[in-house]
Amino acid sequence: MAEFKAVRTSDAQTVGELNRVYQQVTGDIIKCRSAVGSVLDAIHAVVLLPHAQVVRRTVADHVIKDVHKLERIGAPFQADAMRENAVAGVAARLAPLGPVHTGVIDGGEALGMRVTLPYVILGPVSFGTVDALVNKWDLPAVTFPDSSAPHPEPPSV
């Protein structure tokens, strides 16, 4: 079984945001522990991290949800480095749960926006790890590589 989550890269930058993603994923893993009355052999989680970049001066309101927020917070959250930071942060946060694989789908450019779709795939999550989550046992500590350490909150505008 695979569970999917979608989180914008701009919402996966801080330790708090990464912990929220972790809690959502682990909550889904716990729900998957049994499906249709039987224990599942393999549980995977896929976190999609849509990343939008404004590539022209104005973008029509109907092109992307909350485009004004994207325009207001500007270049810092649109930068490729922020996309890479989000992917590395989510991967590091989920790594104690099992094998993690990452990649990016290039969505191209249209209507003043460029979109990429980074993803993090976790799994399979071992039965022992699922059991630890259900019973709230300690899992290995999370360590972020220096290059993927979450960035501080952006300045408010």
Is residue 56 within a helix (H) or strand (E), and if so which, with residue range?
none
The whole-number pLDDT of residue 139 equals 75
**157: Cβ contacts below 8 Å, ≥ 6 apart:** 72, 73
The whole-number pLDDT of residue 93 equals 94
Task: Kindly compute the dihedral angle of the four CA atoms of residues 4, 7, 12, 18, in this order, to the nearest 10 degrees.
Answer: -40
How far is it, in rounded angstroms, from Cα 150 to Cα 105?
A: 22
Averaged over successive runs of 10 residues, the pLDDT of the chain (157 residues) comes to 89 92 92 66 90 72 64 59 91 94 91 87 89 80 57 43
Q: Would you call 151 exposed, middle or buried from its count of C-beta atoms within 10 A (0-12, 13-18, 19+)?
A: middle
**76: Cβ contacts below 8 Å, ≥ 6 apart:** 82, 154
Amino acid at 15: V
The whole-number pLDDT of residue 155 equals 38
How far is it, in rounded angstroms, from Cα 42 to Cα 106?
A: 28
Question: pLDDT tens-digit profile of 17-27?
Answer: 999 999 999 99
The whole-number pLDDT of residue 65 equals 64
Global confidence as pTM: 0.76
